[in-house]
Amino acid sequence: MHELATLRKNPEATRTGLSTRNVDFDLAEFFARDKRRRELIQRVDALKAKRNEAGKQIGELKKAGESADRLITEMGEVSEQIESLNPELKDLDDGIHADLLGLPNLPHESVPVGGDENDNRLERTCGEPREFDFKVLDHVDVGEALGIIDLERAAKISGARFPMQFGAGAQLERALAAFMLDLAGEHGYLEVFTPFLVLPESMEGSGQLPKFAEEAFFIEKDALYLIPTSEVPLVNLHRGEILAAADLPIRYCAYTPCFRREAGSYGKDTRGMIRVHQFTKCELVWYAAPESSYAALETLVSDAERVLQRLELPYQVVSLCTGELGFAAAKTYDIEVWLPSQGRYREISSCSNCEDFQARRAEIRYRPEAGKKTRLVHTLNGSGLAIGRTIVALLENYQQADGSVSIPEALRPYMNGLERIEPLQRPGA
């Protein structure tokens, strides 16, 4: 969320920033409403001051035994004037607040300007894609042939685009979660087990509402949202608090399910486990001082990359252009893993610096020094990693000619020493 005073001071920077994000917003009309609102506030405040002063005079007149009828009548008229202005003032307040909630973050100056993924900037690659001497299968065909993925039964139970894994496929899920959490712990992250249902104000605080209301699963009876990412509870963990400067940076990690409607997605992404309604992630969240948040972003990206390096999966890192940035992000790096079946890199993690955009919504501050004025923290988040997509990458990159899948050495201790996934004999399969 933006600070209104900052927008007033930098209208051209705001206009340019929104334009590069492909946001069509009438800033002139917005500032006109803001000006009218400030004029009304001044009028109402002046009328209230007049009424308060008259109240003192009325008390003095009554104390002196003199008539205060004229002043009482006049102040009744003043009160009516105030009441007549309040509805317009409330409408302006509500409208401006709604606009501020709906405006995306402005891009950092280092973000490449562009309209779509073709304008993203490649930062680096790591690892060489494997060359296969047999026909490469996608993760669905590999998993179904092994009996460890069953999307048909998942659909029977829950409908389309839900995952279901068996045997070593299910074991991969918890093995990867433990592996990622352990790795995060080694690098200073405090593990948190969070709620999976959150209040609307928590969704608003992290920037999910009102923008992504249609993407979220909402339990109307209880007024609770299923989390689309554990970024939501982790960012709101310190909502409304003032943190000590000595505690920064704070680094949290959490493994949770995530629930998204994924409205509007289509094509190849709807096959298998690339884009589903329920998935799991190991999320990394930072609270940092403003002056160190961009150094923190580089560290956050490195922490997410380390997972892929240990798993020996080829990947690349790209800096998203302005038109591709997420709603709350000022700068984002996407980490994209190589998928042999598609012959290209696909996103497996997004690491973003949201600067003070979320902190202003959630009122998260810190005090730089004792007695000094508080400041908003900067919040950062990244997937470390999306587990379903990691399974996709493992099944495709480690598939063998005989249909089996080898397990990366770093993951074997979490798989009870299993070195290879062989076909599973399942009841009813």
> Which CATH code fits 117-421?
3.30.930.10
The reported pTM is: 0.93
Domains 26-102 and 117-421 agree in fold: no
One digit per residue, the tens of pLDDT, for the chain of length 429 reads 899 999 999 999 999 999 999 999 999 999 999 999 999 999 999 999 999 999 899 889 999 999 989 899 999 999 999 999 999 999 999 999 999 999 999 999 999 999 999 999 999 999 999 999 999 999 999 999 999 999 999 999 999 999 999 999 999 999 999 999 999 999 999 999 999 999 999 999 999 999 999 999 999 999 999 999 999 999 999 999 999 999 999 999 999 999 999 866 555 577 899 999 999 999 999 999 999 999 999 999 999 999 999 999 999 999 999 999 999 999 999 999 999 999 999 999 999 999 999 999 999 999 998 778 999 999 999 999 999 999 999 999 999 999 999 999 999 999 999 999 999 998 887
Neighbour tally for 49: CB within 10 Å: 10
> Annotated catalytic sites, by residue?
260, 275, 347, 350, 389
For the chain, the structural domain boundaries read 26-102, 117-421
Residue written as token pair 């029977």 = 156
The topology (CATH level 3) of 26-102 is: Helix Hairpins (1.10.287)
Q: Is 161 left (phi over 0), alpha (psi -120 to 50) or beta?
A: left
